[in-house]
Amino acid sequence: MKFVRPAFRTLTLASICLGALALAACSNATGGALRRDTNGNLVPTLEERDPAGTLYANTLAKADGGDCSSETLNTLTCFAYRGHGYEGAQTSLGQCLLREKKDEVGLLWLKRAADAGWPDAQKALAHIYLEGKIAKQDNVEAAAWNTLYVRNPSLLSLGVRPEGNITEELRALLTADERSAADRRVSAWAPSYWQPSDKLSAETAATCRVRMKSKGPDMDAVNSLLKSNNAGDGY
C-alpha cells in the first residue's frame, strides 16, 4: 500500500478557513463578492461597519426612488422623530406623504426640515408655494424659501450650485412690494430645530433600530489562518 504522509493540520486549517469564509459570505447583505485590502486581508462591508448609517441611507434612497410603502414610511418616521440631525428623513417623509395625498402632514414635515435649514426641504417649499396646488399659492412665501435655498451655506460650502428655475420664474412674477416682504422674512429667519413632544408606537420605534445579526467570523482570526496556511504547514 502506498504510504501517504498525513496532512491533518493542513486540511484542518483549510476547512476552518473555508467555513469562516462561507459565514462571511452569508453575512454580506449586498450579496457582492467580499473585498480584500492590499495585504490580502478580508475587508468588512459598509453594512458591517455602520449598520445604522446603512439603514438610514438605504431608506432615504428608497423614498427618493418613489418607494413610499408602509415599511419605508414607518422607518422614515422612526428616524425623523430623532429630531435635529435627521432632517433628511423628515424631508423624505414629507415628500412621501405628499405623494400619498396626505398634504397637511406632509407639508408639516417639510416645514420642520426647512426650518432647520435643510436645503432640499426649502427648495420643495418654494416649489409648493409657487405652484399653489398642495398649499395656497403665495409668491412671498415661495420667494422667501427660494432665497434661503439658494443662499444655503451647506450648499455653498460644498460648491453645489442651487437650481435656478424658481428664481427665474419669481423674478418675472414678484411685485416690488412682494420682493420687499420676502426679503424681510429672509432677514428675520433663523434656524429652529423640531423635537418631538409625543412618543412613537413601539412598532414604529423599532423600525430604525438595527437588529444585531448572528455573529460572523472573526476577521483577524480568518486572516491569520489564511496567512498561516499559505506559509506552509512546516512538515
Is there a contact between 114 and 142 (Cβ–Cβ < 8 Å)?
no
46 pLDDT above the threshold of 50: yes
pLDDT band at 204 (very low <50, low <70, confident <90, very high): very high
In tens, the pLDDT along 76-123 reads 999 999 999 999 999 999 999 999 999 999 999 999 999 999 999 999
Q: What pTM does this model have?
A: 0.71
The larger pLDDT score, comparing residue 95 to residue 11, is at 95
Residue 160 has what pLDDT? 86
In tens, the pLDDT along 141-181 reads 999 999 999 999 999 888 888 888 899 999 999 999 999 99
In tens, the pLDDT along 130-145 reads 999 999 999 999 999 9
The larger pLDDT score, comparing residue 83 to residue 3, is at 83
- Ranking 33-37, 170-174, 201-205 by mean pLDDT, the lowest is 33-37
Cell of 66: 418613489
**DSSP reduced 3-state for 222:** helix
Cell of 94: 414629507
Look at residues 197, 194, 164 and name the one whose alpha carbon lies nearest to residue 93: 194
Cell of 20: 469562516
Residue 134 has what pLDDT? 96
**DSSP reduced 3-state for 25:** helix
**Gap between the Cα atoms of 42 and 202, Å rounded:** 38
**Gap between the Cα atoms of 167 and 117, Å rounded:** 18
The larger pLDDT score, comparing residue 122 to residue 6, is at 122
